């Protein structure tokens, strides 16, 4: 039998945590034959609710779930972690400036990065879900100098999945017929969902749609503002779909992309496509044997270039702001 994989989830008592933990425990994160130990990291006020969720996890009698530990100590929470899902974050509240938001999150992600550095397993893989996800990932990564930088990633898979769904609806295709879609840049309203290299049942998506106005005025804003539309409709932010995307992100990272397809991940840039090195930006990537690689050699047209540059510019500004705050 396989050794259990230690999976740490922060913000475990939150709404994404509630949607996420049961799918991890049932084998969707790593695969149907991989046992898991869960480590739930919360702030003191969240511990009781996390205990309640752990009771429900027990009550599922999941065959793959070996044990659950609940803690508010990051050194304990990340001890021996092989996978860390950083979900807990400080949301933007009314009247909060960007600087306030970044420093509040720096107060979470800097110590968590250090705790990962000091306590996690050598093969640790980190996914940051908590917003601002890309820059929170940068803060955590900078605080973990002994962990290879590429192990710190940020979630744009929800944006990727949203874009696939919108493109499928537009073209009347099945979601499974859509390949090679890309989210570029920041997980924010500036993100750029790119269909110029995407395929719909083997045909080029942009040629098939052949409607730049739809792209610019409907598709891109619908994907980029989907989070706000969910809040408007549901009265609460995306939770199950965000948890599902976190599952997809890690599953794909560990188990590989399908031949002839790729996915989108926020990862430290190596300078590809003119994205300054070190920024945690979303790219098209293929994965194999637990490693990812940026898809190279794509032609970037004018329409795409402007939008990628704008989102990357925003990431550079966030990086400069956290640098000024002494967070990286």
Report yes or no: 260 and 147 within 8 Å, Cβ to Cβ: no
Taking the C-alpha atoms of residue 10 and residue 136, their distance in angstroms, rounded to an integer, is 13
Closest C-alpha among 84, 80, 91, 8 to residue 50: 8
Residue 133 lies near ligand NAX (rule: CB under 6 A): yes
CA angle 129, 135, 136 (to 5 degrees): 50
Residue 113 lies near ligand NAX (rule: CB under 6 A): no
Q: Which is nearer to ligand NAX, 89 or 138 (CB)?
A: 89
Q: Residues 28, 160, 187, 249: which is the catalytic one?
A: 187
User: Of these, 35, 130, 185, 268, which contacts ligand NAX (CB under 6 A)?
Assistant: 130
Q: Which is nearer to ligand NAX, 13 or 321 (CB)?
A: 13
The answer to whether residue 187 is catalytic is yes
Q: What is the phi/psi pair of residue 37, to 5°?
A: -105, 130
Concatenated DSSP letters of 277-297: TT-EEEEEEEEETTEEEEPP-
Q: Which is nearer to ligand NAX, 28 or 157 (CB)?
A: 157
C-beta atoms surrounding 231 within 10 Å? 12
Residue 199 lies near ligand NAX (rule: CB under 6 A): no
Q: And the tokens for 304?
A: 């795409």
User: Of these, 21, 143, 155, 254, which contacts ligand NAX (CB under 6 A)?
Assistant: 155
- Tell me the sheet residues that pair with 281: 267
**Shortest Å distance, C-beta 207 to ligand NAX:** 29
Q: What is the phi/psi pair of residue 287, to 5°?
A: -130, 150
Of residues 81-100, those binding ligand NAX (CB under 6 A): 87-89, 91
User: Of these, 144, 242, 295, 322, which contacts ligand NAX (CB under 6 A)?
Assistant: 242
Residue 290 lies near ligand NAX (rule: CB under 6 A): no
Active-site residue list: 187
Residues in the site for ligand NAX, rule: CB under 6 A?
10-11, 13-17, 41-43, 46, 87-89, 91, 108, 129-131, 133, 155, 158, 187, 227, 237-239, 242
């Amino acid at each position: 039998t396989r050794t259990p994989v230690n999976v740490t989830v922060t913000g475990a008592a939150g709404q994404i945590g509630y949607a996420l933990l049961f799918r991890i425990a049932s084998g969707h994160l790593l695969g149907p034959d991989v046992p898991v130990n869960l480590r739930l990291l919360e702030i003191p006020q969240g511990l009781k609710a996390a205990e309640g969720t752990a009771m429900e996890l027990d009550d599922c009698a999941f065959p793959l779930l070996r044990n659950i530990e609940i803690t508010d100590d990051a050194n304990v929470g990340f001890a021996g972690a092989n996978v860390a899902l950083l979900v807990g974050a400080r949301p933007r509240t009314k009247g909060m400036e960007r600087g306030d938001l970044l420093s509040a999150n720096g107060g979470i992600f800097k110590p968590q990065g250090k705790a990962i550095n000091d306590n996690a397993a050598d093969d640790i893989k980190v996914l940051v879900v908590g917003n601002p996800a890309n820059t929170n990932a940068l803060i955590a990564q900078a605080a973990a100098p002994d962990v290879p930088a590429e192990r710190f990633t940020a979630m744009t898979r929800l944006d990727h999945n949203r874009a696939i769904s919108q493109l499928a609806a537009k073209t009347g295709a099945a979601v499974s017929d859509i390949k090679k879609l890309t989210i570029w840049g920041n997980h924010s309203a500036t993100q750029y969902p790119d269909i110029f290299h995407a395929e719909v049942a083997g045909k080029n998506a942009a040629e098939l749609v052949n409607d730049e106005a739809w792209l610019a005025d409907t598709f891109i804003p619908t994907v980029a503002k989907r989070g706000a539309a969910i809040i408007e409709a549901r009265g609460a932010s995306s939770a199950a779909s965000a948890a599902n995307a976190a599952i997809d992100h890690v599953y794909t990272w560990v188990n590989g992309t399908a031949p002839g397809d790729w996915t989108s991940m926020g990862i430290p840039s190596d300078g590809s496509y003119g994205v300054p090195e070190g920024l945690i930006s979303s790219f098209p990537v293929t994965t194999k044997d637990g490693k990812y690689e940026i898809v190279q050699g794509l032609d970037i047209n004018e329409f795409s270039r402007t939008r990628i540059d704008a989102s990357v510019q925003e990431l550079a500004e966030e990086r400069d702001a956290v640098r000024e705050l002494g967070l990286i």
